[in-house]
Structure 1
Amino acid sequence: MSSAISERTALIVVDVQPDFMPGGALACHEGDAIVPGIDRLLRMRRFRHVVATQDWHPPGHASFASAHPGTQPFQQITLHGQPQTLWPDHCVQGTPGAALHPGIDWSAADLILRKGSDPQVDSYSGFRENHGPRGTRPATGLAGWLRERGVEDVLVCGLARNVCVLWTAQDAVVAGFKAGLLWELSRPVTPAGDDPTRAALAAQGIALARLDD
């Protein structure tokens, strides 16, 4: 990545929170490895607009296995007519695991977008809830916020690469933005998710961006 980034490019940092780090409630593979690189990138102030998303679930959220007696984490059920993976309790509002990672200087972020706060609906993407009435996916307002600031391109990084990062990049394209995923500044839940992620990105023309591009 060159030292000069277009003012029409925004950086979206997805869910870099302690609960997604090794030892956290829903640890991603090597999730902590991206923290120093993201911190350096934000301190360089290359982007006029930086968005940080923050998973922010109320206790007893419908995506938690603990909310469905007899189920186990990572089991898939049908919820409101839609497929839902059940997760360990994670990123519960106000807990240390839900905080933005303290190893990153977040002062460059001009928008912190909390998602997943509807107790009945999960929210992977920074742009839309997972589902809503009659199968719709309600918007978070992020697309409009970016457009009003003249943003045309977005670069996405964070956790987890094969879930919230991927969905955010895909929804950016659907919303009309050109999107790239900073591969080295993201990590999957497990490495098994990487090949399907690459295929999904290629199918939508989402670039695998590198810091030295």
Structure 2
Amino acid sequence: MIDPRETLREGDALLVIDVQNDFCPGGALEIPEGHKIIPPLNKWIAAARELGVPIYASRDWHPERHPSFEPHGGPWPPHCVQDTEGAAFHDEVDVGDAIVVTKGTRFDKDQYSAFDETGLAEELRRRGIKRVWIGGLAQDVCVKATAIDAAKAGFETHVLPEATLPVTPEGGAEAVAEMRKAGVTIES
């Protein structure tokens, strides 16, 4: 595992993806052992804060009748419904002063990527960001979509494997292959 204090520098940003109660054990769409990514993420968050690297925390923030929910034709059980405990950031992830990126609010489509119609790419460019570091949940859904979109937007993109977990191991392996094909660096 790389040391964030020796790695992060000016022109970097840390993206913490969807570490919300519904994606952690006991949640509506839990990632098995999803809470285990929190200590490594907190290490990166602390280092970013110490070094003045901006931190962005994305969240799913779905309306009750979101099109991604099974009752409305989607593939997922209802999760991260606006203003519910399930939509809250996990209380152990230290995102208190992070800039929150809200996604998944549309009634006509889902938004897996933190870059999908959120203005995040423009925000990062305005701040002179060239390189992004990504961790969170789930590796094979929102982390993958965010990392691929970051690379497409021209950012040097790194995913922290110790700070992300997939919905399924098979999905995780496929996601790693897709991200690498898109030019994303999967750190070791």
Matches within 5 A, 1:36-75: 36-44=39-47, 45=49, 46=51, 48-68=53-73
Unaligned runs of 5+ in 1: 69-84, 129-138
Show the counterpart of 2:107.
Answer: 119
Structure 2's unaligned 5+ residue stretches are none
TM-score by length of 2: 0.92
Give how far 1:107 is off. Answer: 2.9
Cα deviation 1:147-200 (Å, max 9, x = unaligned): 000000101110000110000000001111110100110000111212211211
| C-alpha distance in 2 between matches for 1:140 and 1:108 | 19
State the Cα deviation string for residues 79-98 of structure 1 (Å, max 9, x = none).
xxxxxx51000000000010
Match of 2:151 in 1: 173
For 1:87, what is the secondary structure of its paired residue? coil
Q: CA deviation at 1:43?
A: 2.4
TM-score by length of 1: 0.82
Q: Secondary structure at the match of 1:180?
A: strand
**Quick check: which one's helix share is greater?**
2
RMSD: 1.4
Matched residues in 1 for 2:67 and 2:136: separation? 23
Q: Is the 8 Å Cα contact of residues 43 and 108 (structure 1) preserved in structure 2?
A: no
Aligned residues: 183
Residue 119 of structure 1 deviates from its aligned partner by 1.9
SS at match of 1:182: strand
Structure 1 segment 1-213 matched on structure 2, within 5 A: 1-2=2-3, 3-4=5-6, 5-44=8-47, 45=49, 46=51, 48-68=53-73, 86-109=75-98, 111-128=99-116, 139-210=117-188
Q: Give the 4+ runs in structure 1 shifted more than 6 A.
A: none
Q: Matched residues in 2 for 1:32 and 1:20: separation?
A: 9
SS of structure 2 residue aligned to 1:156: strand
- Residues 47 and 27 of structure 1: is their aligned pair in 2 closer, same or farther, counting only changes over 3 Å? farther
